[in-house]
Structure 1
C-alpha cells in the first residue's frame, strides 16, 4: 500500500511564509534528502479557500511513497528538511500521514 505525507502550513495571525524560499530552496532540500524514497512530490500555493474566501493555508506539500518502509526511510533522512522550516515560516506545520486510496 502506498503512503502519503501532506504538510499543511496554516495561515494564522502574526505568521509569515516566504514562498520564494520555499519553492526555490526548501523543496530542493526535500528532493535532495527524501527523493530516493519518494514516488512523487508536489507543493501547492494557497490561493483561495473557496469562492470569495481567503486561503486557510500558505501551502500544502504532498509526497507519496511506495510503502511504509520507504516512508520510514524518508523520515529517518528528514532531519535537514525539518531543520530548514524556520528559514521560511514561523507558522506551525500540520502533517497528515495517510494510506493512498486510489
Structure 2
C-alpha cells in the first residue's frame, strides 16, 4: 500500500518562511537524500484558505512512497533535510503520515 508523508508549515504570529530557498535549495536536498526511496514529491505555496481567507499554511510538501518500508528508508536518510529547516523558516513543521486512498 502506498504511503504519503505531508509536511505542513503553519502560519502564525511572527513566523517567517523563505519560499525561494525552500523551492530550490531545500527541495533539492529532499531529492538528493530521500529521492531514491520516493515515488514523487511536490510542494505547494499557501495562497488562501478559501475565498477572502488567508492561508493557514506557508507551504505543504507531499511525498509519496511505494510502502512503509520505503518511507522508513527515506526517513533514515533525511538527516540533512531536517537539519536544513532553520535555513528557511522559524516554524515547527507539522507532519502527517497517511495511507494513499486514491
TM-score w.r.t. length of structure 2 = 0.99
Identify unmatched segments of 5+ residues in structure 1.
none
Aligned residue for 2:39, secondary structure, equals: strand
Partner of 1:72: 72
Partner of 1:99: 99
Q: Spell out structure 1 runs of 4+ moving beyond 2 A.
A: none
CA deviation after TM superposition for structure 1 residue 79, in Å? 0.3
What is the aligned-residue RMSD (CA, Å)? 0.4
Aligned residue for 1:84, secondary structure, equals: helix
TM-score w.r.t. length of structure 1 = 0.99
Identify unmatched segments of 5+ residues in structure 2.
none
Query: How many pairs are equivalent?
Result: 102
Partner of 1:34: 34
Whole-angstrom CA distance in 2 between matches of 1:94 and 1:54:
18
Q: What are the Cα deviations for residues 5-47 of structure 1, in whole angstroms up to 9, with x where unaligned? A: 0000000001100000000100000000000000000000000
